[in-house]
Structure 1
């Protein structure tokens, strides 16, 4: 069988203005309308999660952004329990702040997954309430930790089904892998005793290349017959070029599968700043970013994860955060999908929020990747994946250029590619950045047996989708 090779035949440009709304020019396709997006209550199931971290340290305000949570379409929100926030007087728990958050998220049909970190400095040897802090170590602190975890699981066992133990322990210099494994088992025993059907999310791993760290913990859990406390490996691994992460993700999958092939792989925390270099704290801030490049990065992370069979993807996070002195760093962390005003209120959604909505609305439900699909391409960094969706006709094909960090320029190249095992009766072209749907011209695609040939498709450094119109519900511009 012959395949038509991809080649570059030109460049086209179109404009972008994220404050006033995304606009496009120079697409030759007929505009059909805008993609209708769905709130979490309208979505039955999904692999998409949004970050709600740092509420335990008041770096963000749930009640400022909660009106945007359900409409985002995310079916999960990652939360941190906040021992130090909930127990400020020894033996006295104040769960009111967390009750309100969990109850509101559930009311919006968003399922919380709750992390039990961090430490509590009111106890000698209680660890710190901060990123990269230590776990409780003294006898008094460990006993208090046990009581705290027990109280929290009893309180939320009918509302929270997924529990995460700690965050990025691999970056802390205050505990070894062996020490953390013992702490994990100690905590997991409490969770499983109270809630036997709980799903335990392990590690919240910061570094993707730290396979030896993961293996040492898995070895210890296996020796203690505690692999049932490792339902999910959660990893982070920030990279300005998302696609460069997946060789390491594949190694992690191979490792955990060697212990138990049923262990899931979740991308538990990843996001990009939206401000220029020097105006944000946290990962990837040595690069210049904008709301445009952030939105492109978010799309590439989400669809790259899906294309590489990551089970759950969580975008970090829903709103900007203001870290305080005494933590790992201090200052604005601009990775939010919502821009925060100086008074802590939400100023407006960023372009990334709309991009997230669009992706979630298209790729929720029972999505299955077509692993047997064969793609022929000449451009090395062209990413092409295809999917079927239960209840929908035809195939969806995601395409983007993924070799470099996303930038502000909206340049595209007209490319050709072929793909097998894809069926599209009524193909349309969806720009995930702004949700505009176009009718694909008849001369842009040809079917040759089991092969679809696409010609002169404008592709840039962010994902678009070519899919059967049956997948979408449209609204007028």
Structure 2
């Protein structure tokens, strides 16, 4: 064994041991380690497609001020917030926005743009609906008038700070309203927002079920009949799936529907995340499966890069910290989908692996990223996911790679994969593990260029995304 390969072997062993200490077990790559990816805070990023969830603050299931020091460094350029009618108006006609003022002002100070949801109901009014997921919208004359006044107060207060407004959350899972009733409520609310802030972007539905295409179409039909499609700038969808890649056939159908009404309507994945605890230790979506911090991080990477590869305009990961749901809501108990682990006293215990994975992805794929649509891939593994991109102002391209098709697991086993891709120019290729940000030098026998065809040979790939990209995309820090 030469001294060079002996050195690489020893470094790889040390890296593997350190990774195990952090809870990440991984087979060592045989490549030479070049360093670690430098990550960027939101203030260092001009623009990006990435958002982080700050939901449930309206019901005190999470504590913004406990996690705010992690918000800017995450790199997210947006945060999804819920306005909380019932929290802001606990006495009829008296508003207390101080709690929300502090959150919005702090987020903006970190160069993170809030997108603000008007929701849920307010039980101080008869027929006011419930302050809970899957609750009803206000229905009585008194409650609807109070809703109008609260929305008006919200928009007037934040119109210089909030550009994007979301109307309600997951109305399609509520048994307390029809699509027709919700469409009328959406129009009523949208009229108020647009009358005060004409250039506001309105985010619609926060759709829970990806398969509910008829629901989406019926809402759009009603808005079109009322000449109100200007109140539907964005279709936001959720649709949790333990295998992220299984979502995209439904996403394509949603895209086809919105394009038939207005091809300018954007498609946002507005809320998606995975638990980080074993079965039975978390509430909410996908809790019938066993999860860990490793499988959660893999899932987050696959959701983010799957969305980007399938043309989703904005991706928001649910959410930045663990949440503790209270009795009386749709469910009660710990929701462990946070990227930050919460201690029993509500403080932040530490970032999870998924937080670092999120940081790494945001740092690489922010700015003006364009998918290379003409790229053609020849591969032997059906579930090998391959997408390639260019970045404005940066030389070369980046290729994202992972094996999908099944739920991510704890094993960090890899298999050697070979494939070819066209129209993807990488001048000085390096290999990036998005789980921990380690950057490796590719050996010369791992890649061959032949005109417009790039052949990648014996690349170690597992069930989480890695990136082969031009070194010009990255800035490294020393180990």
Q: Answer yes or no: same fold by TM over 0.5.
A: yes
Per the TM alignment, residue 19 of structure 1 is displaced from its structure 2 partner at its CA by 6.1
Deviations 1:191-210 (A, max 9, x none): 00000000000000000000
Distance 2:417 2:314 in 1: 31
**2:181 maps to 1:179:** yes
Per the TM alignment, residue 365 of structure 1 is displaced from its structure 2 partner at its CA by 0.2
8 Å CA contact 2:80, 2:115 repeated in 1: yes
**2:158 maps to 1:162:** no
Number of the residue aligned with 2:3: none
Number of the residue aligned with 1:71: 73
**SS of match in other structure, 2:250:** helix
Gaps of 5+ in 1: 1-11
Residue correspondence of structure 1 range 269-418 to structure 2 within 5 A:
269-418=271-420
Residue correspondence of structure 1 range 14-93 to structure 2 within 5 A:
17=19, 20=22, 22=24, 24-93=26-95
Runs of 4+ in structure 1 deviating by more than 2 angstroms, as ranges, are 12-26
Per the TM alignment, residue 23 of structure 1 is displaced from its structure 2 partner at its CA by 6.7
* TM-score, normalised relative to structure 1: 0.96
**SS of match in other structure, 1:298:** helix
**SS of match in other structure, 1:429:** strand
Deviations 1:138-196 (A, max 9, x none): 00000000000000000000000000000000000000000000000000000000000
8 Å CA contact 1:118, 1:129 repeated in 2: yes
Deviations 1:314-365 (A, max 9, x none): 0000000000000000000000000000000000000000000000000000
Number of the residue aligned with 1:438: 440
Number of the residue aligned with 2:4: none
Distance 2:17 2:220 in 1: 50
Q: How many residues align?
A: 466
**2:204 maps to 1:202:** yes
8 Å CA contact 2:41, 2:75 repeated in 1: yes
**SS of match in other structure, 2:302:** helix
Gaps of 5+ in 2: 1-11
Number of the residue aligned with 1:132: 134
Per the TM alignment, residue 26 of structure 1 is displaced from its structure 2 partner at its CA by 2.6
* TM-score, normalised relative to structure 2: 0.96
Deviations 1:45-81 (A, max 9, x none): 0000000000000000000000000000000000000
8 Å CA contact 1:239, 1:284 repeated in 2: yes
Number of the residue aligned with 1:115: 117
Number of the residue aligned with 1:4: none
8 Å CA contact 1:165, 1:184 repeated in 2: yes
Residue correspondence of structure 1 range 142-153 to structure 2 within 5 A:
142-153=144-155
Distance 1:245 1:183 in 2: 28
Number of the residue aligned with 1:8: none
Per the TM alignment, residue 378 of structure 1 is displaced from its structure 2 partner at its CA by 1.2
**SS of match in other structure, 2:469:** strand
Compute the RMSD of aligned alpha carbons: 1.2
Distance 1:16 1:461 in 2: 21
